A and B are shown apart, each in its own frame.
Chain A
Amino acid sequence: MNALRCQIVNKSFGGVQALLDVSLRFPPSGITAIIGPNGAGKTTLVNVLTGFVRPDAGHCYIGAQEITRWPPHRIARTGVGRTFQDLRLITQVSVLDNVLVACPAQRGERLLPALLRFGVAKEETRNCAAAMDLLRFVELESRAHDLAGELSYGQQKLLALACCLATQASILFLDEPVAGVAPQMVAEILDRLRAVSCQHKGIVFIEHDISVVREIADQVIVMDDGKVVAQGSPAEVLERPEIMEAYLG
């Protein structure tokens, strides 16, 4: 997959400028962190890139293909996955079903094949195996048949990651993947993120905890008031005193 880009994107919500002339490029490799104070426009940026919010001005591209006005599901199908800050999972069904539903292009999701069942059983076995692999990867294999709502918060974050991976996304946008998670779980999630990154997938995550960013990010984007104020490797960006002051102050 080609890199995801946005060019001079603007978005305001009732007079509040959430994004101002943001131009960024996200390659399908490496780990990028987006940091910035509350209300800096981080989540809005992810929403624009994944099609959930239409920008007022500006364009988004995957490679040369413009995707600005594409609906979210279409963008998701081209390999852009995302998770949400307030975990959005189907808590009323099993952990396995959450991952299964995310498998792309299932024949059994079409009306007639679902009704007549041709080729669906085979496909289902294949998807189940793939989903179990993913659950093994996030170490939730033993909980596969429990309801998703019964998992701990950290486990739900891992499940959201697994769902995102099940869509076969090449770039994953993770909105606060470790916020509010117990410390020992944080290490586990970060470990998994590194493992994902080794599979030639790009990870972009929003984070508040600078130590987490230092630990795993290859690149940092700092946002404030809807603008990108700095960009670069953690070593250079996080050492700049004016950035840290603005961010902490």
Chain B
Amino acid sequence: MDYLLHIVIIAAIYTTLAVSLDLLAGQTGLLSLAHAAFYGIGAYSSALLATALHLPILVSVLAGMLCAAVVSLLVSVPSLRLHDDYFVIATFGFQMILFSIFNNWVDLTHGPLGIAGIPQPTIFGWQINSNWKFACLGLLFACFAYFVVGRLSHSPFGRVLRAIRQDEVFARSIGKNTLKFKVAAFAVSAALAASAGSLYAHYISYVDPSSFTVMESILVISMVIIGGPASTWGPLIGAAVLVTLPEALRFTGLPSAVAANLRQVFYGALLVIMMMFRPQGLVGRYGFGR
């Protein structure tokens, strides 16, 4: 039972990540390879604030989100003034750099050893100490992300994002400052990814750089694609499928290193197959980008 709850929690974390990436990739048509970096920023902020300063989870989550949103500007403002391809490369570079900071800035992040002993959170006196409670918290986070993204996409703001996705030139010709919209979408997306990171840090009670590699970014992209970009339930379905299916490998008794590689092969192959044969995902209508 605990195992099933564990899967629910992990799925909730990935749903949060996938929904937040969908705002950017699905709705706005911008591909970011740096989602794991922002996820990591959230996780490390929470881990540091909770272990060093003993701040309550709500504060550390908000701090992580704010931090991610601010850092996102560093990538988005210079690159989004230019062609979208610059953005892809900038996020790719940012992802690689952030991983190297997690891995090498030993004074702050403890390097490959990671940060251990992150306390279980307490929210308004409610001690979250079992998987049941974590699952509830996870669902809360996922719902929050869904709420934010849903609200935004069903507002005039989201309407402009869709206009940008399909034809940015049109959006500019009707007087929309598309740079501002893209930067805002990226910041919100980064902040929500950070919230997922905070939850992850508190749940696993330990963070190390290996959870925030570019492969993790690609995994989240795959979730968005498999579910269906810019569709309501796509991110949820994508996250559920990609979290549960590889769990089957766990029962084959393969050594964990082999299983990890096999899982990556599976993700990669899925990405190729989806792109070739069903770019609109399982439940989506549009496909990625334009």
Contacts and interface: CB of A to CB of B under 8 A. Distances in A.
B175 A82 contact: no
A16 interface: no
A91 B170 CA distance: 11
B156 A84 contact: no
A72 B166 contact: no
A71 B169 CA distance: 12
Interface centre among B151, B163, B285 (most CB of A within 10 A): B163
Contacts, number: 100
Interface of A: 50, 52, 71-74, 76-77, 81-84, 88-93, 97, 100-102, 104, 106-111, 114-115, 117, 120, 123-124, 127, 163-164, 166-167
B151 A114 contact: yes
Contacts of A124: 156
B156 A72 contact: no
Contacts of A127: 156
Interface of B is mostly: helix
Q: Considering residues B169, B171, B181, which has the most beta carbons from chain A within 10 angstroms of its beta carbon?
A: B171
Contact of A115 (B151, B172, B175): B151
Given A108-B155, A115-B152, A117-B155, A167 B175 contact: yes
Contacts of A72: 172-173
A84 B166 contact: no
B156 A73 contact: no
Given A100-B156, A106-B156, A84 B173 contact: yes
A164 B175 CA distance: 10
Contact of B167 (A88, A108, A111): A88
Nearest to B290: A92
Contacts of B157: 108-111, 114
A117 B157 CA distance: 11
Nearest to B155: A114
Given A77-B175, A102-B174, A167-B174, A92 B166 contact: yes
B158 interface: yes
Interface residues of B, number: 28
Interface string B174-216: 1111100100100010000000000000000000000000000
Contacts of B285: 92
A84 B206 CA distance: 55
17 contacts: A52-B169, A81-B173, A89-B167, A90-B167, A91-B166, A92-B162, A93-B166, A104-B175, A108-B156, A108-B157, A109-B160, A110-B157, A111-B157, A114-B157, A115-B148, A117-B155, A163-B174
B286 interface: yes
Nearest to B168: A88
B54 interface: no
Given A50-B173, A111-B184, A117-B151, A73 B178 contact: yes
A50 B172 CA distance: 10
B2 to A, nearest CB: 36
B159 interface: yes
A117 to B, nearest CB: 7
A74 B175 CA distance: 6
A53 to B, nearest CB: 12
Given A76-B172, A77-B175, A115-B151, 18 more contacts: A84-B170, A88-B167, A88-B169, A88-B173, A92-B286, A93-B166, A97-B159, A100-B159, A101-B159, A101-B160, A101-B163, A106-B156, A107-B156, A114-B152, A114-B157, A117-B155, A120-B156, A123-B156
